Amino acid sequence: MQRTVPAGLDRKEAEIYQHLDTARLPRHIAIIMDGNGRWAKRRHLPRIAGHRAGVTAVRSTVETAARIGIPALTLYAFSEENWKKRPRSEVDFLMGLLCRYLKAEVPTLNKNNIRLEYIGRQHELPDSVQEKMQWARGATSHNTGMTLTLALNYSARSELVDAFASLVDAAARNGGLNHLKIDEDAVSRHLYTRDLPDPDLVVRTSGEMRLSNFLLWQLAYAEIYVTPTLWPEFRGVHLLEGIAEYQKRERRYGGLAEEAAHAHHSKTVRS
């Protein structure tokens, strides 16, 4: 029997979607977008052309994820290391690209009921970029569908440092350090991602096998899907391929079989 396919999927996407178990879609997908520079180099184009083409990939991936009902999608757009180690001209171009993306995309985000969020040390970004970011977040804050989180000036180690500092600070303000109690839940509650479930699936494009300082705490039990596709060529159909692969895996969370997964699931689901 043919299952109803969400509106807006193209033929190839619909074909893969038909074979997915819709009761077991990942609740949160995180993506390390990589390979823009290589894509451009292969075409004898400047690196920035790869970033520009990467925006089309972002658009397609976000729309498909929202259409199939993924509750949360997090994109690693810009690491703290990118910001500090790339030439000024490339960083400036990426900032401009982000601002143009936010301005152009808000109507589409609203049409797809997508709420925009950010993780990373926002206060270190240029004021004009921070203003655009706050505007776009505000303009989508009423949406109730997918949460799209952009990691900008993000580093997982910095996030952990900020979380520990925030834990100590909160204790100092609430009865003193004698009351400081640290456990896993307390750390999770002080991460930038405190309102998101941990990702079930992390996708990395361009064949690299690294986490590159991305969501190190939150990815503890995530399934890792690496595709050779370079980010500018990535589309919704590739996301669906990743989800199909994810559904073939058996998740054990350090236990033995399915039962362990159910136990973990009921423990970690948040309202």
Q: Provide the annotated active-site residues.
A: 34, 82
> Least Å distance between CB 208 and ligand FPP?
7
Alpha carbon distance 84, 117 (integer Å): 23
* Cβ proximity of 26 and 239 under 8 Å: no
Q: Which residue is nearest to ligand FPP (CB)?
A: 37
Could you tell me the smallest distance in angstroms from the CB atom of residue 131 to ligand FPP? 16
Distances (CA, A) of 11 to 3, 17, 110: 14, 10, 25
Angle, helices 236-248 vs 11-18, to 10°: value is: 10
Residue closer to ligand FPP (CB basis): 225 or 231: 231
Q: Which two tokens stand for residue 201?
A: 């699936």
* Cβ-based neighbours of 141, under 8 Å, separated by 6 or more: 115
- Kindly state the smallest distance separating residue 143's Cβ from ligand FPP, in Å: 17
From start to end of the chain, where are the E strands? 28-32, 72-79, 115-119, 147-154, 201-204, 223-226
Query: Least separation, in Å, of the C-beta of 16 and ligand FPP?
Result: 23
| Distance of alpha carbon 162 from alpha carbon 184, whole angstroms | 15
- Residues of this chain that interact with ligand FPP (CB under 6 A) are 33-38, 51, 54-55, 58, 75, 77-78, 82, 97-98, 101, 150, 231
Q: How far is the CB of 126 from ligand FPP (least distance, A)?
A: 15
The residue among 226, 216, 238 whose CA lies nearest residue 119 is 216
| C-beta closer to ligand FPP: residue 210 or 249 | 210
Q: Which residues pair with 148 in a beta bridge?
A: 73, 116
The phi, psi pair for 172, rounded to 5°, reads -60, -35
For ligand FPP, give the closer residue by CB, 33 or 196.
33
Quick one: 77 or 243, whose CB is closer to ligand FPP? 77
DSSP strand E in 146-258: where? 147-154, 201-204, 223-226
The residue among 50 and 199 lying less far from ligand FPP, judged by its C-beta, is: 50
| Backbone phi, psi, residue 199, to 5° | -60, 140
**d(C-alpha 121, C-alpha 33), whole Å:** 19
| Nearer CB in complex with ligand FPP: 46/197 | 46
Q: CB of residue 101 vs ligand FPP: minimum separation in angstroms?
A: 4
